[in-house]
Amino acid sequence: MVIYPKLYDAGWQTINHLWDTPEFGAQDLLDRWAVVFNGFAIISNHCTPPHWDGSSRANWYDILATLGRYQNCDLKLPGLRISLRYGPGMVVGIAGKVPEHAVLTYEGDRVCIAYFISDNVHEWAEIPCRYWMHTDFDE
């Protein structure tokens, strides 16, 4: 909601559309679904080679949340020549389809929960969100 309000609104519209669709809405899982994202992946004690996320759109953000007892971990963005310290408890918003990103090494026990919005679910629900994020500054 803070990073990209229009995507947040479109995400909730899609979740509500799922609730209102009889073949999906009756599922117990949707009664407990508490996030705007319609997909997530759990990466446990695993490094990720350089990659782009394929199920999203270029102008949409994914959220990466890290947990565990680990150290010496960096989130690498090779194309941007950036390496960010990526410690336990960090939450990162990233347009996962645009910059190549990776976690190549770390020491300890690490879990990353990657939340994302899948483009094919939005297409199915016919919920548009084709806008690029922008910031308006009032003077």
What's domain 5-125's architecture? 4-Layer Sandwich (3.60)
Q: Where along the chain do its domains lie?
A: 5-125
Q: What is the mean pLDDT of residues 2-14?
A: 82
- Return the residue matching tokens 């969100």: 129
Pair 36, 15: CB distance under 8 Å: yes
Two tokens at 129? 């969100």
What's 11's DSSP letter? Answer: H
Residue 110: how many CB atoms within 10 A of its CB? 22
Q: What is the mean pLDDT of residues 109-130?
A: 85
Question: What pTM does this model have?
Answer: 0.79
DSSP secondary structure string, 75-132?
EEEGGGTEEEE--TT-EEEE-TTSS-EEE---EEEEEEEEEE--HHHHHHHT----PP
Give the model confidence (pLDDT) of 56-103 as tens digits: 788 888 999 999 999 999 999 998 999 999 999 999 999 888 899 999
